[in-house]
Structure 1
Amino acid sequence: MKAEPCTYVIFGATGNLSRIKLMPALYRLDAAGRLPEGTRIMAMGRRPWDQQKWRQEVQDMVQAKAKDDFDEAVFQRFSDRLYYHQGDISQADCYSGLAQTLADKAFSQNIAFYLSISPADFGPVMSMLSTNDLFNEESGWRRVIIEKPFGYDLESAQALQKRISHYLSEEQIYRIDHYLGKGMVQNVLVFRFANVMLEPLWNRNYIDHIQITHSESIGIDSRGDYYDGAGALRDMLQSHLLQLLTLVTMEPPVSMEAESLRDEKVKVLKSIRPISKEAVHAQAFRGQYAKGMVNNEKVKGYLDEANIPQSSTTETYASMKLYIDNWRWRGVPFYMRTGKRMAKAQSTISICFRHPPLQFFRDTNVQCMNPNWVLLGIQPEECIRIEMTVKEPGLEMSTRTSSLDASFRNQDEKAVDAYEDLLLDVLKGDRSLFLRFDEVEYAWRIVDPILQSWAVERDYIATYPAGSWGPEDSRLFDKESQSWRSSLTPECK
């Protein structure tokens, strides 16, 4: 697919997401020569800034991220693409003025609206854009990018979709999950479907269980108001981690075309065994961080953070066990966990194969007979690692674990931010890494029973010290031999 010139209209352009991710990503795309000639970037904001002030602000954003890689000549070219439209998005004249500005021949009539705003504002903003004919595709395409959360639960997600679909077709909606733009996440697909050697083993006959972990060492920063209403299950498990699960477990799509890929992901979500209210305690666990030590610094507990009520039972740690009831995965448990203020910041997928029969080694000194693991490091370490048991050198029959490493990136190759990929895909009209509504809907169906159960159980929540690997939730595991894997290096048990 070829990227077409477009006008990016960014709502919330002066906010944190724009400052940290969007503007630096667009600058890097321009530096790489990937932004088509004629592409313009229109910022929407309430602040009384002129074009010069806005361009200086963007320069500060870009320099803060680029540091030594900042190129004055590249930024000069990039700044020529930048425009600022002052207005209050709750006022009608903001949109009539925007429509008038965008009608100018200086702007491409292919327009992408990026809504980096509260989900509560999606409906009103789209209504005003529609009233001013800004979704009219007579002179060029119109696409709308929206950030998660896509609703607060199943009912609110369906209500939001009903309102959005009043103004837009599904083909115009780009629901962004930045996790899917990460290079290593896309490499999961290549690893699975471009290497035939593991495919015969990728099923219930050989795999014991699969773990997906996203841990963070940071707390909630200044997001207390938002986070206390969301919690870890909504914030990470319902979206990012379920998406990783679909990529690891889906059947090979007929092609990399967007609909084929998304069809297979939805099949996985549909196949996940529903969690009944009676099974919530057996299949889900929550916890909240207390004070502790992170990176040798004392940090406060969740209840001591700003804007957090003392009676809060919002989870900062959530784990759950799922089963996929299809031919490939029937009976294999899938364990997922996420948490704030944990021992280390990392995202990993750990695939544990079944134990080998030990009958052959019964009269030897073999003590450390670990199962084989395939480890996929998503961040910060991007890697694919296969652990195998090998004999130690010497006269004795002793073994150790050795790993085969396939580095994702060579030393001279720079990392590409997820938003670069995704912003470019919007220009191409490639929706394969964006979410279709049925994906969002089925993901909410999976976690809704847990959310409903936790909502009424407000008397107690387990705690864990900040800087640890979370609360004790071993009851999730099907076997005594199963436990959380927190390292990408060989572990001998």
Structure 2
Amino acid sequence: MEPCTYVIFGATGNLSKIKLMPALYHLEVAGLLPEGTKIIASGRRAWTLEKLHQEARAMIRAKARNGLDEAVFARFQARLSYFQGDLSVADMYPALAALFASHSEYPGNVAFYMAIRPADFGTVVENLSTHQLLDETHGWRRVIIEKPFGYDLESAHALQQRLMRYLREEQIFRIDHYLGKGTVRNVQVFRFANVMLEPLWNRNYIDHVQITHSENLGVGSRADYYDGAGAMRDMIQSHLLQLLTLVAMEPPASMEAEALRNEKVKVLQSIRSIPSDAVHAQTYRAQYTSGRIQGEKTKAYLDEDNVPPCSVTETYAAMKLYIDNWRWAGVPFYLRTGKRMAENQSVVSICFKAPPKQFFRTSQLQKMRPNWVLLGIQPCAYLKLEMTVKEPGMEMHTRQTTLDANLREGDVPATDAYEDLLLDVIKGDQSLFLRYDEVEAAWRVVDPVLRVWAMERDYIPTYPAGSWGPEESRRLFEREDQNWRDSMNPATKN
């Protein structure tokens, strides 16, 4: 890998503090940052280099997996410099260009990380281009953009049109940190490196698929952003639809970025659109009220700081989707996400169909439970296969048993998704970054729902904090015997 200059706009903010600086430090620990790589932290605050070092030390000390290693931090600190500037002031950009021109120690390859408000993406890129900071004469230029990419389909298209005036598609790295999680990558390996389940991975054997991301946290300090976004935009349009593509995609021709992303786009484009008169039949939204989580009383969403008292923003969203292609025709995919729920959990649950013939009609086995494959994303990385077995003894009693593979061996610590993604930017590997047609196709899935919800401003259903969400969302399921899969532990007995 060639060295590069990482320029972090918004380096004094929360994203840099919680994710970016610790991730870059851990790359330093692993010896993965190319020799000569530099990091320019840019922000409006009047920090000196010494102040940046102090702040970086505090950021990393709070997040370092094995504590702060002084020798490693000394190497990392030597890469850091600080550039004070206000992105809204035009004079900042020629000053940044002059910094590059006058300091030969900064590598010509430059990655600009936009840890800033989405509303500023277009303006900042335009200014970078105006002052030749996107000129690739002496090395590559790449721009990393955090989600959300647009507020809806129309705004996403407008942003794309603006960016394409100054950048090529291969220069844009639309980051979705969810795709960097190790277990999400394991979904690809599970699908395409094992032939055991591939013959069953279709409409003939799979009854339905559930994808759940639940959090027991509230909106916290993100209310200003969250109230304008809601659960559908914040999680389903990006993270959960990406998981769906990995579960449902056809084997790509290779694991090269474009081949992989082509297959993901095909899945998104095959999702049956939801007409406005079917929105209530295929989606459900709700908002958390007060409750108890881990024994502590929690506030309702409307009582959170900076939340408008009449807000009808959803903190829970669920939807039923169909993929109209040969493999998945007729198989429902159920997606749900929510805040202030019972547990922190991200899991893909695949439910298989019942056997075509019931051999034990006169025995205790009249209600056979289905087989499941469970792919745990967080907080635990695992693969579980649930099967029915006979209990020891004379009578025909059964129980569920689990073939359980913990995907993190021994004491190997989990890496943060940003570590892989920041390194992939240096490599130029876009496999886990979103291409614009992926973004556009995902917006086309949720846009009809958001338009209907936007007209319903008088009322929103609620659910108590600490629960698994509103019971009424069960109506999305096609049969009475189907329900949300909450527990990852199998029932013990039939």
1:229 correspondence with 2:228: yes
Shift of residue 363, structure 1, vs aligned partner? 1.7
Matched, 1:37 2:39: no
Please state how far the C-alpha of 1:69 moved relative to its aligned partner.
Answer: 2.5
Deviation of 1:85 after TM superposition, in Å, equals: 0.3
Q: Any conservation in 1 of the 2:8–2:40 contact (CA below 8 Å)?
A: yes
Q: Deviations over 1:225-252 (max 9, x none)?
A: 1111100000000000000000000000
Alignment partners' CA distance in 2, 1:115 and 1:408: 32
SS at match of 1:375: strand
Corresponding residue for residue 122 of structure 1? 121
Letter in 2 for 1:433: L
CA distance in 2, matches of 1:238, 1:330: 22
Residues 385 and 403, structure 2, Cα contact 8 Å, conserved in 1: yes
Q: Distance in 2 between matches of 1:47 and 1:105?
A: 25
Paired residue secondary structure (2:64): helix
Separation in 2 of the partners of 1:11 and 1:134? 14
- Once residues 413 and 303 of structure 2 are traced to their aligned partners in structure 1, the CA distance between those partners, rounded to angstroms, is 39
Question: 1:368 touches 1:399 (CA, 8 Å); kept in 2?
Answer: no
How far did residue 367 of structure 1 move? 5.4
Name the structure 1 match of 2:97.
99
Residue 359 of structure 1 deviates from its aligned partner by 2.6
**Aligned residue number for residue 431 of structure 2:** 432
Q: Find the counterpart in structure 1 of residue 185 from structure 2.
A: 186
How do residues 143-162 of structure 1 correspond to structure 2 at under 5 angstroms? 143-162=142-161
Map of 1:134 onto structure 2 = 133
2:483 counterpart residue number: 483
One-letter amino acid matched to 1:11 = F
State how 1:243-282 maps to structure 2 within 5 Å: 243-282=242-281
Q: What is the match of residue 55 of structure 1?
A: 53
Q: Kindly indicate whether the alpha-carbon contact (under 8 Å) linking 2:391 and 2:399 is maintained by their aligned counterparts in 1.
A: yes
Return 6-15 or 353-362, whichever deviates more.
Answer: 353-362
Please give the per-residue CA displacement for 1:290-322, whole angstroms capped at 9, x wherever unaligned: 000011000110111111122111100000000
Greater alpha carbon shift after TM alignment, 441-450 vs 119-128: 119-128
1:114 and 1:456 mapped to 2: Cα distance? 36
Alignment of structure 1 residues 337-356 onto 2, 5 Å: 337-356=336-355
3-state SS of paired residue (1:361): coil
- Give the whole-Å Cα distance in 2 for the aligned partners of 1:11 and 1:209: 43
Deviations 1:70-120 (A, max 9, x none): 100000000000000011111122111111112221000000000010111
Could you tell me whether the CA contact under 8 Å between 2:36 and 2:107 is conserved in 1?
yes
- State the shift of 1:68 in Å: 4.4
Q: Kindly state the Cα deviation for residue 216 of structure 1 after the two structures are TM-superposed.
A: 0.4
Checking the alignment, whether the CA contact within 8 Å between 1:367 and 1:398 is kept in structure 2 is no
Listed as ranges, the matches of 1:60-99 within 5 Å are 60-66=58-64, 68-99=66-97
Report the counterpart of residue 457 of structure 1 in structure 2: 456
Name the SS of the counterpart of 1:410 in structure 2: coil
SS in 1 for 2:93: helix
**How far apart in 2 are the matches of 1:405 and 1:459?**
47
SS of the residue 1:85 aligns to:
strand
> Which residue number in structure 1 is paired with residue 5 of structure 2?
7
Deviations 1:157-212 (CA, angstroms, capped at 9, x unpaired): 00010111111000000000000000000000000100001000000000000000
2:174 match: 175
Per the alignment, residue 320 of structure 2 pairs with: 321
Equivalent in the alignment of 1:25: 23
Unaligned runs of 5+ in 1: none
- Between the aligned partners of 2:200 and 2:386, the Cα distance in structure 1 is 15
Partner secondary structure for residue 277 of structure 2: helix
SS at 2:221's partner residue? coil
Residue type matched to 1:100 in 2?
Answer: A
> How far did 1:368 drift?
5.5
Q: Secondary structure at the match of 1:30?
A: helix
Separation in 2, partners of 1:408, 1:66: 22
Contact conserved, 1:287 with 1:462, CA < 8 A, in 2? yes
Name the SS for the 2:91 alignment partner: helix
> Are the equivalent residues in 1 in contact too, given 2:358–2:366 (CA < 8 A)?
no
SS at match of 2:202: coil
Identity %, equivalent residues: 68
CA distance in 1, matches of 2:85, 2:361: 76
CA distance in structure 1 between the aligned counterparts of 2:95 and 2:227, rounded to whole angstroms: 37
CA distance in 1, matches of 2:65, 2:174: 30
CA distance in 1, matches of 2:66, 2:263: 42
Question: Equivalents in 2 of 1:188, 1:284: separation in Å?
Answer: 26
Query: Are the counterparts in 1 of residues 360 and 366 from structure 2 also a CA contact under 8 Å?
Result: no
User: More displaced, 404-413 or 340-349?
Assistant: 404-413
Q: What SS does the corresponding residue of 1:359 show, helix, strand or coil?
A: coil
Distance 2:401 2:271 in 1: 34
Root-mean-square deviation (CA, aligned residues, Å) is 1.0
User: Counterparts in 2 of 1:436-451, with a 5 A limit?
Assistant: 436-451=435-450
Task: State how far apart, in whole Å, the 2-side matches of 1:458 and 1:86 are.
Answer: 43
Give the CA deviation at 1:358.
5.3
Question: 8 Å contact 2:302–2:311 — kept in the other structure?
Answer: yes
Give the alignment's TM-score, normalised by structure 1. Answer: 0.98
Cα distance, 1:357 vs. partner?
A: 3.9
CA displacement at 1:142 relative to structure 2: 0.3
Cα distance per residue 1:246-272 (max 9 Å; x no partner): 000000000010000000000000000
Which segment drifts farther, 305-314 or 266-275?
A: 305-314
Deviations 1:323-366 (A, max 9, x none): 00000000000000000000001000000000124531012222
SS at match of 1:191: helix
**1:292 pairs with 2:291:** yes
- Paired with 2:358 and 2:422, the residues of 1 have a C-alpha distance of 55
Q: Give the Å deviation of 1:16.
A: 0.4
Give the direction of change, closer, same or farther, for the CA distance of 1:424–1:67 in structure 2 (3 Å limit): closer
Deviation at 1:458, TM superposition (A): 1.2
- Partner of 1:69, secondary structure, is coil
What CA distance in whole angstroms lies between the structure 2 residues aligned with 1:361 and 1:67? 53
Q: Which runs of 5+ in 2 are unaligned?
A: none
Q: Could you tell me how far 1:412 is from its partner in structure 2?
A: 2.4
SS of the aligned residue for 2:394 comes to coil
More deviation, 428-437/117-126: 117-126
Letter in 2 for 1:75: F
SS at match of 2:41: strand
Aligned partners of 1:368 and 1:400 also within 8 Å: no
Q: Which amino acid aligns with 1:481?
A: D
Deviation track 1:397-438 (CA, whole Å, cap 9, x = no partner) reads 111111101211101211111000000000100000000000
Partners in 2 of 1:409 and 1:162 — Cα distance? 42
Matched AA of 2:4: C
